[in-house]
Amino acid sequence: MSYISNFAAPFHGQRAAFNSADTQLKFPSLASIQSRPAIRIARPFFQNDTFSISRMAVGRSSRVGRQGRLRMALAYELVQGKLVRWSSMVVLDRSIPEPPTAVLLHGILGSRKNWGTFARRLAQEFPTWQFVLVDLRCHGDSASIKKRGPHTVASTALDVLKLIAQLRITPRVLIGHSFGGKVVLSMVEQAAKPLPRPVRVWVLDATPGKVRAGGDGDDHPAQLISSLRKLPMEVSSKRDIVNALVQEGFSKDVAQWVVTNLRPTAAAGTPSSSFSWVFDLEGISQMYQSYEETNLWEVVENLPRGVHVNFLKAERSLHRWALEDLQRIHAAEESAADEGGGVEMHVLEDAGHWVHADNPDGLFRILSFSFKGVKA
């Protein structure tokens, strides 16, 4: 299994051109670097706002020696199965086919790291596949990449479409959790039609329309964002933040998850007495408001041919799934189109809203059929 990281930064002098043709989910494949038992990306560095990347083979002394300078739409990681011999970073070579690719998106206040363990498990089970884990705008390492507003579901989806255009990949599977679930639906809405090949879309514990908060005992994202906005940008203790959020009424699990967004202010390898938040909370607040307001039922009920949307409801969901939502999904399911298009509903037992953490085995079993029988 190979593991490729990209931390993006602006590249002065490079024009960020992007037009409607770029939103297509079809791009020419590029040549691979020779696959090895394990490939890691050396820690990136920044110099004069220019991003330089190099690959280092782990377990062998030889360097896979290529460096590139590029301006990427978002920060991402690429997790590849051991049989994948392909990279978007090297010279065009059509003799090596592009491997089947899945794109995984996190929710509000999350990051690509939320999917790391699960993606590595998928890559081990399905060694011909590769998995792109993305930091959405205002989150994780993408927070340092300045984005113009408005910060919405639609603009977030366009960011991801730009990224896959830059990587020259054709995703076969799109997986989005919570806010990310609406983002993948918006990607389908914005992508040029017809799609070059069937695409499976997974919307994990999110509905296409109105967002309904859970009961009084549940954690509410809007309230969490409001509480975080009251906290200083730089703090001395993660434990103090956890205690403060618990006192505000949030669960300890959610509080501990939120502080994963804190990073030491000192340089790597030196002791640090303080931490700072990696996200852009003002932008995230706008994104969550858009998440509540965005209605994508028309996409679900009028799917392009070749798109199959799977909704997954957590048995102990943080959000309320209204009877109306379930009825509309089942109605769309019954009117599913032929040739791979359609809608399906799934329920993940013994799981709350954090499906990939609460019941990873169950989620793995449900998602696995999307990766079986697909060849490069």
Compare 288 and 34 and report the one with higher pLDDT: 288
**Domain ranges in the chain?**
76-212+294-371, 221-284
162-193: pLDDT as tens digits: 999 999 899 999 999 999 999 999 999 999 77
Between 2.60.370.10, 3.40.50.2300, 3.40.50.1820, 3.10.20.340, what CATH number should domain 76-212+294-371 receive?
3.40.50.1820
| Across 16-20, 200-204, 312-316, 347-351, least confident range | 16-20
Mean pLDDT of 272-289: 92
Output the DSSP codes for 142-162: GGGS--PSP--HHHHHHHHHH
Predicted pLDDT at 273 = 79
How many helices (DSSP H) and strands (DSSP E) are in the chain? Answer: 11, 15
Compare 201 and 342 and report the one with higher pLDDT: 201
Mean pLDDT of 198-225: 82
pLDDT band at 251 (very low <50, low <70, confident <90, very high): confident
56, burial (CB in 10 Å: exposed 0-12, middle 13-18, buried 19+): middle
What is the residue-averaged pLDDT of the chain? 79
The pTM for the full model equals 0.80
Mean pLDDT of 122-145: 96
Predicted pLDDT at 253 = 86
| Across 32-36, 69-73, 171-175, least confident range | 32-36
pLDDT over 50 (residue 63) = no
Helix axes 281-293, 179-190, angle to 10 degrees: 70
Provide the 3-class DSSP secondary structure of residue 16.
coil
pLDDT over 60 (residue 269) = yes
354-376: pLDDT as tens digits: 899 889 999 999 999 999 876 65
C-alpha to C-alpha distance for 238 and 332, rounded to whole angstroms:
45
Contact residues for 267 (Cβ-Cβ < 8 A; gap 6+): none
333: how many CB neighbours lie within 10 A of its CB?
Answer: 16
